[in-house]
Structure formats: C-alpha cells, structure tokens
Amino acid sequence: MERLEAFERMLEDIQKQAALETEQMEKLRAAGKEKTATYRQYFGNRLMYRTILDWYRRYGLLE
C-alpha cells in the first residue's frame, strides 16, 4: 500500500506544480516577458510534466 500512496502523492505534486508554473507563465506572458530565462524554464518544465502525465494516461493510471 505504501507504493500506491507514494504514486498518489507524486501525481498530486506534479499536477500542482504544473498548475503553479502555468499560472506563472501567464503572468510573465501578460508582462511581455516570453523571452526570459524563467519563462523558458517554465515552458520546458511544462513539456516535461505533460509527457509524464501522458505516460500515466497511456497506462490507464490517469483519466
């Protein structure tokens, strides 16, 4: 059961972090700062989070 709980915590953390960084990206975009290193880092992270969540969906672990 410990492994399942760890998976659930990890999934929740990834989803929270992805949402937080998306919000930060929107603020930077509104300020015209799409070329900053921070924005680009968030963009790269977003791609990584999307890939991870897609793998979970592929294996039926996420709807």
Hunting for tokens 């760890």 — which residue is that?
A: 6
User: What tens digit of pLDDT does each residue of 2-14 get?
Assistant: 999 999 999 999 9
CB 42 within 8 A of CB 59: no
Q: What is the pTM of this model?
A: 0.83
CB 51 within 8 A of CB 58: no
User: What tens digit of pLDDT does each residue of 2-47 get?
Assistant: 999 999 999 999 999 999 999 999 999 999 999 999 999 999 999 9
3-state helix, strand, coil in the chain (%, to 5): 80, 0, 20
